Chains A and B, each alone.
Chain A
């Protein structure tokens, strides 16, 4: 799966998970996860959804420093490789 494909899939997952109205067509790798309506606690919901959707088992602790959609995509890309 390419980085762009991962970002596209992430966009779909985030759309389902967030309650904030977001113009998803403008969301790119540089968008911060916080700006998409994920606060300090709802981010756990997002991590769960990502693990389920990507069928990926990874240590959630590794996500501590991730801030943007692009960083998340790169992390997932490394996990899925």
Chain B
């Protein structure tokens, strides 16, 4: 039964990809927005999660505005998927600078451009994170972590269609400290998403005023390796036009107290993420259950 469902999903995805290849951009965008609106209407639970998250974050000060942002967030996510599958049409080594405006802090830019220097790049599910990785990979090879889809056929199909340039992905199950340290040693950009629910292994960090279980590996890697840690993200500013912004590197006064230092780093990264989300709230993945309560928090 499961295999049949996977094959049906594969057939749908395959047909979708064929359509994407032949249809003009405007039509693809229109269809994507219509499908996202339909999903927003049908997926009651996800819709309510997104709506509540927007409202409780203080991003919207009234229910109508919260609904608008939640609906646009669904559309945005649809566009993220389409852009990730079609960006090879216009983002190439020769042309990417026509489509991306770089807004980089001077020191962060120096670290990112310096040959052989490993950098840890933190980002969130804001804007188009796939485009962000592609863009920085034109400056320096990028190593990221990905969650493998449950459907192996669709996973293979999608991976074949995603442009990679100098952007390599490690499945989450194979991600480990040795690989992270290797990437740093090899002078790559090691990319992490900092807004994933970390279950009971995370540290509770306030995100828009509410505690959220946050992975600590990125902060520990920074502490033990001294590798520059930068928050950056890419947002859509027009069709086929993006801005990639990098904030100043994270700097904390080391206390020698591991928990305190980890918290300082994760707090600083989370404040950058909040600032970025406030700039483009419709481009954040609000349907994600970021504030789930872990069964047992290990690092409060």
- Residues in A lying within 8 Å of B, measured CB to CB: 40-41, 43-45, 47-49, 51-52, 59-61, 63-65
Complex CA gap A52/B221 in Å reads: 14
Minimal beta-carbon separation of A48 from chain B (angstroms):
5
11 more A-B residue pairs beyond the given contacts A64-B181, A64-B182, with a C-beta to C-beta distance below 8 A? A40-B176, A40-B178, A41-B217, A47-B224, A48-B223, A59-B185, A60-B224, A61-B181, A61-B182, A61-B184, A61-B185
Q: Is the CB of B185 within 8 A of A44?
A: no
Q: Chain A contacts of B226 at CB under 8 A?
A: 59
Looking at chain A's contact residues, the main secondary structure is helix
Pick from A44, A45, A47 the residue with the most CB of B within 10 Å: A44
Complex CA gap A47/B176 in Å reads: 14
Complex CA gap A63/B184 in Å reads: 12
Complex CA gap A25/B181 in Å reads: 31
Q: Is the CB of B176 within 8 A of A59?
A: no
> Is B175 part of the contact surface with A, judged by Cβ < 8 Å?
yes
Q: Interface range on chain B: under 10, 10 to 19, 20 to 34, or 35 or more?
A: 10 to 19
The residue in chain A whose Cβ has the minimal distance to the Cβ of B223 is A48
- Residues in B lying within 8 Å of A, measured CB to CB: 118, 175-178, 181-182, 184-185, 201, 217, 220-221, 223-226, 256, 258
Q: Is the CB of A44 within 8 A of B217?
A: yes
Q: Is the CB of B225 within 8 A of A59?
A: yes
Q: Chain B contacts of A48 at CB under 8 A?
A: 220, 223-224, 258
Q: List 4 A-B pairs, minimum CB-CB distance, nearest first.
A: A40-B176, A61-B185, A44-B220, A60-B224
Q: Chain A contacts of B217 at CB under 8 A?
A: 41, 44
Q: Is the CB of B256 within 8 A of A41?
A: no
Minimal beta-carbon separation of A55 from chain B (angstroms):
10
Given contacts A41-B217, A64-B185, contact A51 B224 (CB under 8 A): yes
Q: Is the CB of A45 within 8 A of B182?
A: no
The residue in chain A whose Cβ has the minimal distance to the Cβ of B215 is A41
Minimal beta-carbon separation of A54 from chain B (angstroms):
13
